[in-house]
């Protein structure tokens, strides 16, 4: 099974969420922070902290992480739209 380094995972996240910006930072050796933002104005759309991780990631772990971030981002954006529509 192929394991991916944090640097590779960070690059995959950036590529996946483009044209939005995406930052991934190791908060500690076992904790990851991911921030998705509007790259035109740097507005933060979603920040997820405390994501459990290790020094390397499997393809399945990366896909699960991307799926979770996408779901959270959709939820936040739909809540924001409802707030603006009121």
pLDDT tens readout for residues 27-80: 998 999 999 999 999 999 999 999 998 888 999 999 999 999 999 999 998 887
What's the pLDDT score for residue 83?
57
What's the pLDDT score for residue 31?
94
**SS3 track for 33-70:** EEEEECCCCCCEEEEEEEEECCCEEEHHHHHHHHHHHH
What's the pLDDT score for residue 85?
52
* Local confidence band at 82 (pLDDT 50, 70, 90 cut-offs): low
Upstream peptide bond of 19 is cis (omega within 30 degrees of 0): yes
- Residue ranges of domains in the chain: 3-85
Token pair for 15:
């590529």
What's the pLDDT score for residue 79?
85
Calculate mean pLDDT across residues 11-26.
97
């Amino acid at each position: 099974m192929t394991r991916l380094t944090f640097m590779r995972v960070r690059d995959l996240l950036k590529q996946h969420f483009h044209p939005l910006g995406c930052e991934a930072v190791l908060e500690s050796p076992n904790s990851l922070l991911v921030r998705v933002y509007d790259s035109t104005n740097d507005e933060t759309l979603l920040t997820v902290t405390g994501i459990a991780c290790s020094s390397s990631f499997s393809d399945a772990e990366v896909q699960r992480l991307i799926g979770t971030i996408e779901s959270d981002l959709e939820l936040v954006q739909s809540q924001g739209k409802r707030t603006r529509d009121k």
